[in-house]
Structure 1
Amino acid sequence: MKMAETFFTVSEELRLFGLSCLMGAIVGAAYDVLRVFRIITPHNGFLTAAEDIFFLLLYAISLTAFSEAAARSEMRMYFVIGNAVGYVLYYVTIGSVVMRTIRKLFTLIGALFKLIFRPLKPCCAFLRKKATAEFVRNSKIIVKPIKKIKIVLLNRRHLLYNKMENTKGKEREKRVEENET
């Protein structure tokens, strides 16, 4: 009776551990892509948590695929440990250099945009000043009739809805109560 092999040799385990460390470094590079996306578009904690959950889901799928492809569908704890070692090594060495370079690159691009658009700043300030004056003038035109309506209501004291207290309504309620009793 021929039985399937159920164990790994030491050399196979070392090879799998090395491959899982390499996979951890690849996972670190994928996380750097996510970090760059966060630098480009800053967002709130809920979206960050959703991105992290999605990333962990993708990591779980990739770990399962790794065990399917390289380890005869056998999941071993040292795969996860190897991933963690590879990720930490990537993060401390290459990842820190990559992120520092990317941050400097974005700072340089921002400074370049400021330099390019600096001549437009006085023009934009002039347009803003004109637009603000136009907005204030238009808002006064809109608000003036509304203020007149309020003044009319305040001057007409005989309107029931303009008074603070409606005594006719209270007298009517008293008469209705007296008639019911």
Structure 2
Amino acid sequence: MTVPETFFSVSEELWLFGLSCAAGVFVGAAYDVLRVLRMLLPHNSLLTAAEDIGFLAAYAVLLTAFSNAAARGEMRLYFVIGSAIGFTLYFFTLGRVVTAVLRKLLAGLGAALKVIFSPLKTVFALPCKKAMVKFVGNLQIIVKPLKKIKIVLLNRRVLLYNKMANKKRKNVKSVAEKNETRKTEEKRSVQPRTR
């Protein structure tokens, strides 16, 4: 009866650690693809977060596949540590060089496209200007009735109680003033008249 191996030798563990470092370099290269995509197309924070979550999910799948293919399906903590070391080394060494080169290439490509399409800009300037005037005119036709429909009290700047001139009511006495005049009248009526 043959018993399957249940442990790795030291040389096997070192080999697996080296492979996990190489897998981390591969993960770093995949992250560079995301960095290039973010350079090409500006992203908002929601899309960036979704991309990062997808990237971490792909990393988890890669780690699981790595443990299944190289380590008989056994997950070890040093796989994660090795891939993190490989990713960090790639990110701060070769990744910086790749990113700098790609930035320069994309900037040059953008400048070349700007030069190529600059004659088209002058050709389309007049029609765009006329179209903008037409669209602004149509927008004014749509917006004017909507402004008239607005209820005055919903517009907070026009509310009557927000104006300082209307804070004090002109024809109505305050409750405190009414009470004081009533008290003074009662005192006068209670006091005996002396001659």
TM-score normalised per structure 1 = 0.71
How many residues in Structure 1 have an aligned counterpart in Structure 2?
Answer: 145
Unaligned runs of 5+ in 1: 151-181
Cα offsets for 1:20-58 (capped at 9, x unmatched): 000000011111111111222222111111111111111
Q: CA deviation at 1:15?
A: 0.7
Distance 2:139 2:61 in 1: 58
Partner of 1:14: 14
Matched position secondary structure for 1:118: helix
Deviates more, 1:16-25 or 1:2-11: 2-11
The reply on whether 1:78 has 2:78 as its aligned counterpart is yes
Partner of 1:34: 34
Cα offsets for 1:70-105 (capped at 9, x unmatched): 011111111111001110111111111111111111
Identity %, equivalent residues: 60
Partner of 1:103: 103
Matches within 5 A, 1:18-167: 18-135=18-135
Distance 1:59 1:95 in 2: 18
**Dislocated runs of 4+, deviation >6 Å:** 137-140
The 3 A distance-change label for structure 1 pair 60 and 110 is same
Cα offsets for 1:136-179 (capped at 9, x unmatched): 66678x58xx7xxx9xxxxxxxxxxxxxxxxxxxxxxxxxxxxx
Partner of 1:159: none
Unaligned runs of 5+ in 2: 149-195
Distance 2:82 2:139 in 1: 66
* One-letter amino acid of the structure 2 residue matched with residue 73 of structure 1: G
Rg (Cα) greater in structure: 2
Distance 1:52 1:137 in 2: 44
* One-letter amino acid of the structure 1 residue matched with residue 30 of structure 2: A
The 3 A distance-change label for structure 1 pair 123 and 10 is same
TM-score normalised per structure 2 = 0.66
* One-letter amino acid of the structure 1 residue matched with residue 94 of structure 2: I
Distance 2:136 2:87 in 1: 57
Distance 2:78 2:85 in 1: 10
* One-letter amino acid of the structure 1 residue matched with residue 59 of structure 2: Y
Distance 2:57 2:138 in 1: 54
Partner of 1:155: none
* One-letter amino acid of the structure 1 residue matched with residue 40 of structure 2: I
* One-letter amino acid of the structure 1 residue matched with residue 107 of structure 2: T
The 3 A distance-change label for structure 1 pair 138 and 44 is closer
